[in-house]
Structure 1
Amino acid sequence: MDQTVERSPNAQRGFRVQAPLVDSVSCYCKVDSGLKTVAGARKFVPGSKLCIQPDINPRAHKTKSSRRERTRFQLPLLPGLPDDLAIACLIRVPRVEHNNLRLVCKRWNRLLAGNYFYSLRKSLGMAEEWVYVLKRDRDGRISWHAFDPTYQLWQPLPPVPAEYSEALGFGCAVLSGCHLYLFGGKDPLKGSIRRVIFYSARTNKWHRAPDMLRKRHFFGSCVINNCLYVAGGECEGIRRTLRSVEVYDPNKNRWSFVADMNTGMVPFIGVVYDGKWYLKGLGSHREVLSEAYIPETNTWTPISDGMVAGWRNPSISMDGKLFALDCRDGCKLRVYDEITNSWKKFIDSKLHLGSSRSLEAAALVPLNGKLCIIRNNMSLSLVDVSSPDKQVETNPHLWENIAGKGHIRTIFTNLWSSIAGRGLKSHIVHCQVLQA
């Protein structure tokens, strides 16, 4: 701080230091943030007790420069470590503890709420995959939980938004590996809707997305090149089935129409295989139809080959092969052979569970490089489809049932599993895998 020196009338008294006239806005900020303490200020301002101008309200003037100054002295993420090393430690914390990490402090919460933390986990191969199951309970309402395969536990999640708590015929898909989208469907009171919401596995919260261009329910959907495609279905008030197809691009954050299908359809099975989107469903006259969409040419082609003839739900395309179940409880798998244009037996677990509704296989998803089978009673099986020549008897890890291990960990999950097993009206609606 500059000082003004005046010559005293009495030269023998020496010099007298006079505090200069300063701007009241900058006075407190300079003394407090620059010198940090009043003791430090007294070294440069003789005779001052609190500030050069004691009538300044210290809370009245907080400029952007003062805020920037404070950020320079913020506490480290981990005491005694630079932030880059602290982040290297935090990204190694298991995903199940991430909600607790957010509660430690504001800096940790901001770190885990951003994309950098999880992008770093993904690039270093530390991202964990969880299975997310949406289920319609006996009362007709939608509930959902996430399965952690590392600890084999079902984890609680924030409730499904009210608009989808009782919806029928809605779609479900995953974009960017960590965003689970719910779209379209039929509300019991409002009818067909075009609303779109998504859940982020990184923030553990639900968010809104742009609505679809057309109201529809019981339609087909898929993801190609991280774009969401929706085709066919029904719309309340229109007696015929829909032919329209639309696509959502998350980078542009908007929907747009693409080529219509040749005929209207209510799909009951679909899969992306060999760069094409295959759909099989019922037409307006209840006849079975099948078409394939080619994204490169934006065209639809009718198909009637051996793949469609023996195609059963659920199915999945994984490692360049098309798999489907061969029995009700999902203990047998088939694979499509392009050479013979037919389905062949692939692998048998040799341990069949039964044919009840609760044991029926509802979905196939890829999980940590293996094929995961999910049944209505929330039991899971992992199948290593990379080595089908090995016998199940000699390799127990080829077909592994991980169902009951997680449910006996807590009273809640154990009770929930028992209820799900008895309730024939309870069934899985959608199943997806999210990374974080």
Structure 2
Amino acid sequence: MTCARLSTIMEMSKKRAGDISKDFQNCHDLIPGLPSELAIECLVRVPYQFQSAMKSVCRSWRSLISDSSFIIERRRCGKAELLLCLVQPLSPPNPASKTVGETLVMDEKGEKKLEDESPRVFGTPRFGLSVYNAAMSTWNRVAFPEQQIPLFCECVALQDAGKILLIGGWDPETLQPVKDVYVLEFAGEGSGRRWRRGSPMTESRSFFACASVGSTKVYVAGGHDDQKNALRSAEVYDVEKDEWSTIAPMTEERDECQGFFMETDLGFCVISGYATESQGRFRSDAESYDLATNSWAKIENIWPFQDTSPRGRIAGDMRGSSRLWCFTDQLPSETKDDSRKCKLDVETIQLPVTGSSVFAGSLGGEVVVMVGGKRESEGEGVMMKMKTEKKIGKWSGHIQIPYGFSTLPFSQSSIYV
């Protein structure tokens, strides 16, 4: 390598490393003999699966990898790995299948916990948190410190904080809605990919709308309580303060609704759902929450399928856009009025398969759709990907899902590590 080329790399590395915490800018012992800028360039390129072991090398490595800016630097140089986290029912054991992979996770006391590799299912299904690493094409199940995660809990990511949250759902034993919040640490000071309990919601709820807003907050709204009553109430969680605060209630009760955060003037959006007295008849409208005024506004004629829940059917890349995509094997019951300008655009995309159950979600700049059906009962599933840049395009690839991970998820989120 020429001296000029090395000098250029050094200058670029120094500029990029400037965003890493100041504690490491003058650290000369990250890799002996290398300037800190080049040492950081080397360390951010190590695959995520080895980072836990790297923390045991020395204090400076542990401090660097535990710093929240480390993931930001990995993203900047294109080495961050994208994880798709899925809350899904656990498949019953298959004697002919290989052992399901598993990620070892420590609880908040630092004790190692392992999840049963071969869950037994009797009547009520058990739920687990599965992780697909898009960069490595691997599947793993994250061990949980409790016996099992709450059924039908919401999974939401806070990228800048390096956290995955599991919120609400049903108690696995009583089948009643809960207020519980579990936080999985993927990054940050002292992180060991550990679970901790967050402060509980002010109200027990399940099948509610949920979305992260900004770097530290999660908004929830609607769902139903322990008496199966649809809810209008809404609240917000500040993960840094570990506090919940109530916000203005929605104008309508909305059970089995779907939530999104749109980085436009729409803010937190809650789509469809149904009232207590009209269970199973899904509303066609939505509501958007204005964070500045603490008020809700209705958006008419968004969801055209009266007999179908929007949950698991809608996905999209909301970065600076107000477009969402609905994936279905049926046509809308009503024709959308193109003459009416709508702040929120939900475009219907017909799947290339019919008669199958589906779940759609977002994975970086792509939409992923998991397809169930006959293949699922045989222990296999298919996940299709579609680009969302500019205009929705053709399916870009099919991913075979191994046995143990092929059941359709209830909720999902993705995070860079």
- TM-score of Structure 1 vs Structure 2, range by shorter chain: 0.5 to 0.7
Is 1:383 matched up with 2:386? yes
Is 1:428 matched up with 2:416? no
Q: Which residue of 2 aligns with 1:416?
A: 404
Q: Which residue of 2 aligns with 1:316?
A: 315
Q: Quick one: distance in 2 between partners of 1:402 and 1:268?
A: 29
Is 1:79 matched up with 2:9? no
Report the AA paired with residue 355 of structure 1.
Answer: G
SS of alignment partner, residue 372 of structure 1: strand
SS of alignment partner, residue 192 of structure 1: coil
TM-score where L is the length of structure 2: 0.67
Q: Which residue of 1 aligns with 2:355?
A: 355
Distance 1:386 1:158, change over 3 A: closer
After TM superposition, the structure 1 = structure 2 runs for residues 320-335 of structure 1, keeping only pairs within 5 Å, are 320-328=321-329
After TM superposition, the structure 1 = structure 2 runs for residues 27-426 of structure 1, keeping only pairs within 5 Å, are 76-138=29-91, 139=121, 140-154=125-139, 156-162=140-146, 165=148, 167-177=150-160, 178-190=162-174, 191-202=176-187, 203-226=192-215, 227-236=217-226, 238=227, 240-273=229-262, 274=264, 275-276=266-267, 277-286=269-278, 288-289=282-283, 290-292=285-287, 293-303=289-299, 305-309=300-304, 312-313=310-311, 314-318=313-317, 320-328=321-329, 352-356=352-356, 360-367=357-364, 369-376=365-372, 377=376, 378-386=381-389, 388=391, 398-404=394-400, 414-416=402-404, 420=406, 426=407
Q: Quick one: distance in 1 between partners of 2:200 and 2:337?
A: 37
Report the AA paired with residue 50 of structure 2.
Answer: E
Deviation at 1:152, TM superposition (A): 1.9
Q: Quick one: distance in 1 between partners of 2:81 and 2:89?
A: 26
Report the AA paired with residue 159 of structure 1.
Answer: A
Q: String of CA shifts for 1:97-138, please: whole Å, max 9, x gaps.
A: 323433444543343223242233245454332211221124
Judge conservation of contact 1:173–1:182 (CA < 8 Å) in 2: yes
Higher relative CO (CA 8 A, sep ≥ 6), structure 1 or 2? 2
SS of alignment partner, residue 221 of structure 1: strand
Q: String of CA shifts for 1:245-297, please: whole Å, max 9, x gaps.
A: 11112343311111012233213333334424133111110254444133232
- Unmatched tracts of structure 1, length 5 or more: 1-73, 391-397, 408-413, 421-425
Distance 1:81 1:302, change over 3 A: closer
Distance 1:322 1:153, change over 3 A: same
Q: Quick one: distance in 2 between partners of 1:306 and 1:180?
A: 32
Deviation at 1:366, TM superposition (A): 3.4
Segment drifting more, 226-235 vs 369-378: 369-378
Q: Quick one: distance in 2 between partners of 1:175 and 1:338?
A: 37
Q: Quick one: distance in 2 between partners of 1:301 and 1:363?
A: 26
Distance 1:339 1:282, change over 3 A: closer
Distance 1:317 1:336, change over 3 A: farther
SS of alignment partner, residue 285 of structure 1: helix
Judge conservation of contact 2:88–2:129 (CA < 8 Å) in 1: yes
Distance 1:147 1:166, change over 3 A: closer
Judge conservation of contact 1:322–1:336 (CA < 8 Å) in 2: no
Judge conservation of contact 1:271–1:315 (CA < 8 Å) in 2: no
Judge conservation of contact 1:363–1:430 (CA < 8 Å) in 2: no
- Unmatched tracts of structure 2, length 5 or more: 1-26, 92-120
Report the AA paired with residue 281 of structure 1.
Answer: G
Judge conservation of contact 2:325–2:348 (CA < 8 Å) in 1: no
Deviation at 1:321, TM superposition (A): 4.3
Q: String of CA shifts for 1:301-339, please: whole Å, max 9, x gaps.
A: 344x3323369552124251423334349xxxx999685
Judge conservation of contact 2:84–2:363 (CA < 8 Å) in 1: no
TM-score where L is the length of structure 1: 0.65
